Amino acid sequence: MCLPSQQLSLIHELHLMLSLCFSWQSQAFPLIFLDLVDLKEFCKSQGSPEADDLNHWDITFWSERFRESKYELNEEELRPYLSLPRVMDGLFNLVNMLFGINVEPADGLAPVWNHDVRFYRVNDSSGTPIAYFYFDPYSRPSEKSGGAWMGGVVSRSRILSRDGANARLPVAHMVCNQMPPVGDKPSLMTFLEVETVFHEFGHALQHMLTKQDEGLVAGLRGIERDARELPSQFMENWCYHSDIVEEVHVSFALNQSAVDYSIIDGCCRNTLMKGIYQKLLAAKTFCAGTLNLRQWAEVLSADAFSAFEDVGLENEKAVKETGQRFRQTVLALGGGKAPLEVFVLFRGREPSPEALLRHHGPESVTSSA
Ligand SMILES: *[C@@H]1O[C@H](CO)[C@@H](O)[C@H](O)[C@H]1NC(C)=O
Ligand SMILES: *[C@@H]1O[C@H](CO)[C@@H](O)[C@H](O)[C@H]1NC(C)=O
């Protein structure tokens, strides 16, 4: 179904993107051009015959090879540090700090489809339940073995409430395919998997923290596709911020009591962690030759995250205030208001590509490479 309002908003978006492209030219084009030159060099050095005549599909392929060689990082290196229970604790602490919500296990409150599935309750700061979610973390090869996703079980709805007074509370499900625990060792994750969990939880937050009582526009419902990725990509940003990772108790990465030392020789574990983080960050922001800046949602999520950077990520009070504003706008208003209006309510202005350019700019790469 394509509602007229969705078309209208798409045209508006297109218009904005075009004007952004023009305003970007001076800043982004030299950068992209430089990247392409590097990419061709790399391609040549690998003895590739198409180096002088790269097609779109070549560019994507060679960008990946280039990234691998430039920021060579073995995803498995981080696995011993990242246990699923502690990652989830870190995530729940983070959303408590940002949005003032309490996530706590509520196993047994609702039936589950497998003994590994956990059920959680989300309370407001006043201690009142506002949502629930299922978390189905591990791969079960006969049923599911790849990918991660989030979905609504029921959405917030006044009409479908049981007592006719209070709205029915939303319930989400989040499904991952992590390696199951082995013996008494917890499930261990790669960094990419951690990022994926943060991403999916961003979607779940929008479903659960909605203030819309009309089911058809509650949570993610009725939101244009591109704008739907805003909360999820926004949450990804937090797992890259090592300051935040250390400071707001997302302490999983440095919790040394849980590290399997046998696979790490030498003494400097903190230095190793720092090095790996910087590589991760550089690899994320690296964009050889591809117009990685094209995604509208990336403009929105980078710009939204920059609201937190602007107030200072170390300033917990200001971060909390900004988090509350993000919750009351982006996470609460659902499809009841056009995404652009919602964004303006949060940011106080229309979206700007400045943050995305800064995150992807040459400085972000050189300073952290
Ligand atoms: C959350 O709400 C439930 C149900 O009202 C309550 O039993 C529990 O103590 C609350 N927990 C927190 C941390 O607010
Ligand atoms: C560190 O890991 C240990 C073992 O898994 C756990 O008991 C402890 O609570 C963790 N500490 C923090 C701060 O996460």
Q: Could you identify the residue written with the tokens 């013996």?
A: 183
For residue 35, CA distances in Å to 1, 54, 159, 184, 324 come to 40, 13, 54, 47, 38
- Expressed in angstroms and rounded, the spacing between residue 64 Cα and the centre of ligand 2 is 36
225 pLDDT higher than 70: yes
258 pLDDT higher than 80: no
Across all residues in the chain, what is the average pLDDT? 78
Per residue in 98-112, pLDDT tens?
Answer: 999 999 999 999 999
Which comes out higher in pLDDT, residue 246 or 344?
Answer: 344
Q: What is the pLDDT of residue 354?
A: 84
Is position 67 within any domain?
A: no
Q: Which of 255, 259, 261 to mutate to test the pocket of ligand 2 (most atoms within 8 A of CB)?
A: 255
Is position 5 within any domain?
A: no
Which residues in 260-296 are b (16+ Cβ under 10 Å) and which e?
eeeeeeeeeeeeebeebbebbbbbbbbbbbbebbebb
Q: What is the pLDDT of residue 130?
A: 97
- Expressed in angstroms and rounded, the spacing between residue 107 Cα and the centre of ligand 1 is 13
232 pLDDT higher than 70: yes
Is position 31 within any domain?
A: no
- Expressed in angstroms and rounded, the spacing between residue 103 Cα and the centre of ligand 1 is 9
Q: How many domains, the chain?
A: 1
pTM of this prediction?
A: 0.76
- The C-alpha atoms of residue 131 and residue 210 are separated, in whole angstroms, by 9
Task: Pick the residue whose CA is nearest to atom 10 on ligand 1.
Answer: 127
Question: Which ligand has an atom closest to residue 106 CA?
Answer: 1
Is position 16 within any domain?
A: no
131 pLDDT higher than 90: yes
Say yes or no: CB of residue 93 within 6 Å of ligand 2.
no
Task: Pick the residue whose CA is nearest to atom 10 on ligand 2.
Answer: 255
Is position 234 within any domain?
A: yes
Span 187-204, average pLDDT: 89
Task: Pick the residue whose CA is nearest to atom 9 on ligand 1.
Answer: 127
Q: Which of 93, 120, 123 to mutate to test the pocket of ligand 1 (most atoms within 8 A of CB)?
A: 123
Task: Pick the residue whose CA is nearest to atom 6 on ligand 1.
Answer: 127
CATH number at residue 261: 1.10.1370.40
Q: What is the pLDDT of residue 205?
A: 98
48 pLDDT higher than 90: no
Beta carbons of 45 and 62 less than 8 angstroms apart? no
Is position 284 within any domain?
A: yes
Q: What is the pLDDT of residue 4?
A: 41
Query: Which residues are bridge partners to 136 per DSSP?
Result: 175
Annotated catalytic sites, by residue? 200
pLDDT band at 202; cut points 50, 70, 90: very high
Long-range contacts of 30-37 (CB under 8 A, 24+ apart): 31/360, 31/361, 31/362, 32/287, 32/289, 32/291, 34/362, 35/287, 35/288, 35/289, 35/290, 36/288, 36/289
Is position 138 within any domain?
A: yes
Which comes out higher in pLDDT, residue 297 or 23?
Answer: 297
Q: What is the pLDDT of residue 160?
A: 93
The rounded percent of the chain whose pLDDT value lies above 70 is 70
270 pLDDT higher than 70: no
* Residue 123, domain extent: 76-368
Is position 137 within any domain?
A: yes
Say yes or no: CB of residue 310 within 6 Å of ligand 1.
no
